[in-house]
Chain A
Amino acid sequence: MALDADVLEQFIDQVKRLVTEKLVPNEERLVEDDDIPDEIVDDLKDLGFFGLSIPEEYGGLGLCLTDEAKIMMEFCQSSVAYRSRIGTNNGIGSQGLVIDGNEQQKQRYLPGLASGEMIASFALTEPGAGSDAASLTTSAVRDGDHYLLNGTKRFITNAPQADLFTVMARTDASTPGARGVSAFIVEADTPGITLGKKDKKMGQRGAHTSDVIFENCRIPATARIGDEGHGFKTAMKVLDRGRLHISAVCIGQAERLLKDSLNYAIERKQFGERIADFQLIQAMLADSRTEIYAARSMLLDATRRYDQAERVSEEASCCKMFASEMVGRIADRAVQIHGGAGYMADYAVERFYRDVRLFRIYEGTTQIQQLVIAKSMIRSAENS
């Protein structure tokens, strides 16, 4: 549901306050501890951040995507590890249930996810199945009223914190590709689940991924979301929303990088002048401002259509590709504007430069987005 403009503005004010008073001042601590301070997690819970996209009847805020995107563009002007903690509960960790879960599953899990008492992870990627996710081999074999899960999932965000996993597994070994895959909601304390050790990543300290290994993990048949063989259909339905959400995250990060760069350019003097007065620096600032504006305009157009129930798969891929590549360029310029200081860990841009690299890889690499966009164009042309 769309919020009244004045309420949204008021809420965004609160988000800005959280960013300036709590999130930014704790960024270095976040990196040092490799964890989000508890009191900040509590603030995020209080403000409803774990349930932005979960319907109100299950305790969430039930925001429309446009409002969610506007909120994320503010929220993500701080370290993106904060976003990572809330990301899976709002994204596919919960949306599979929201869209295709039955009432019993929703009642059981959504309120805990919305409040942040429970953390959900989404387990799709495997050692042998990344971009080609439909080739996954984790198996779910029916055994009376149960399924037996076997297989390994890789790079699973929030796995070390997770209480729940949305697991994509092959229920029909004889059907290759997407049609043999089903989605399951699996409680993390189920026997037969072990976690690999935390991955050592390039950036985003404070956010964690690890392998999740299923060995004869016995789950009730009622844990299946939707029908057998519909797992990918469920995933596809939430993909557009996820890609648009990530675009908003990229724009928030870009805003922060540009703000830091502009402040630095105004303060730093060389050749007796502020470096901001050099036209070559100005070009970098102007290019960055323009690209952010373009990404923001694209995003808000796509979210508006999404909220009007238009199909936006092509646009969602356009936004995700442009915004993630855009923030990469802006991070690169931010380091350049900072000069040697930009290469030093004392400045946030060094950290952000590494943090934002991920956006071009997960939720579909840039190349996969290109394929989606082009195939969609070709399909439309063929059908017209």
Chain B
Amino acid sequence: MKILVCIKRVVDYNVRIRVKPDGGGVVTDGVKMSMNPFDEIAVEEALRIKEAGNADEIIVVSIGAKQVQEQLRTALAMGADRGIHVETTENIQPLTASRMLLNIAQSEGVDLVLLGKQAIDDDNNQTGQMLAALWDRPQATFASGLSFDGGKATTIREVDAGLEVLEVDLPAVVTVDLRLNEPRYVKLPDMMKAKKKTIDVKTLADLGVEAAPGVSSLGVRPPEGRQAGKKVETVEELVKELQARGLVND
């Protein structure tokens, strides 16, 4: 089995996000960037699938400026076999990204595409789903468990009602959730080895895709500062207060 894992470079989850003064997005200059944490879980899962003998090649792909190669190198140091960098400085939205990924999934003939359930920067939660639709293949989103049998994958999904078990035919798209695994620490010798692994660079034209954003952002604002809370003396007072605000029934 051949696995494609899609990774996105985002502002590190430890960074306190600041909105640009002109409202045109968030500040990324001089800010620490990392692999989207859900994508890291996807890479880890691919490695575990390979280590269990269920896959023989893991390809990682990332779309963006030259610097996304840092995140590809991290994935290669974790153990992925080779990378593909789609180089562009354009604003790439989920539909465009999924078109590129479709092209790569098809030309590489992969059996499984793993993605994070969403990227922590834009929180769109769309790319995996759009890719499955364009590819006309099954999808299983928010996977917190994943296993294989023959040409099928079984995923466990955490839904409001409990755990849903879904079986999909391969090739398929699976997006991963937080509790699927805990990504490994990368070892120094593996980081050095990763420098020798190949990263193929492609352009949008190579993939026959145009950036053509379909959604335009009107502005970005920081959330309102939190208001001071109110202290109450007794439980009765608390209940009254909540009732007055319509938060609990009388």
Contact = CB atoms under 8 A, between A and B. Distances in A.
Interface of A: 3-4, 6-7, 10-11, 13-14, 17-18, 20, 43, 46-48, 61
Max chain A Cβ within 10 angstroms of own Cβ: one of B14, B34, B74, B188:
B188
25 contacts: A3-B188, A3-B192, A4-B192, A6-B70, A6-B73, A7-B188, A10-B70, A10-B73, A10-B77, A11-B186, A13-B34, A14-B185, A14-B186, A17-B185, A20-B14, A43-B185, A46-B185, A46-B187, A47-B185, A47-B187, A47-B188, A48-B187, A48-B188, A61-B188, A61-B189
The main secondary structure of chain A at its interface with chain B is helix
A196 B191 CA distance: 43
B188 A11 contact: yes
A47 B195 CA distance: 18
Contacts of A14: 185-186
Contacts, number: 36
Contacts of A17: 185
A7 B186 contact: no
A263 to B, nearest CB: 12
Interface of B: 14, 34, 70, 73-74, 77, 185-189, 191-192, 195
Contacts of A13: 34
A48 B70 CA distance: 22
B12 to A, nearest CB: 9
A14 B74 CA distance: 10
A180 B248 CA distance: 84
A11 B14 contact: no
Contacts of B195: 4, 7
Given A10-B74, A10-B77, 8 more contacts: A4-B192, A7-B188, A7-B195, A13-B34, A17-B185, A20-B14, A43-B185, A47-B185
B191 A7 contact: yes
Which 5 pairs, one residue from A and one from B, show the smallest C-beta to C-beta distance?
A: A7-B191, A11-B188, A10-B191, A14-B185, A61-B188
A3 B77 CA distance: 15
B246 to A, nearest CB: 33
B67 to A, nearest CB: 11
A17 B185 CA distance: 8
Nearest to A61: B188
Max chain A Cβ within 10 angstroms of own Cβ: one of B34, B73, B191, B195:
B191
Nearest to A4: B195
A255 B14 CA distance: 18
A7 B187 contact: no
A47 B191 CA distance: 11
Max chain A Cβ within 10 angstroms of own Cβ: one of B74, B77, B185, B189:
B185
Contacts of A11: 186, 188, 191
Contacts of A18: 185
A11 B187 CA distance: 8
A10 to B, nearest CB: 5
Nearest to A16: B14
Contacts of B189: 48, 61
Contacts of A3: 188, 192
A10 B185 CA distance: 11
B192 A7 contact: yes
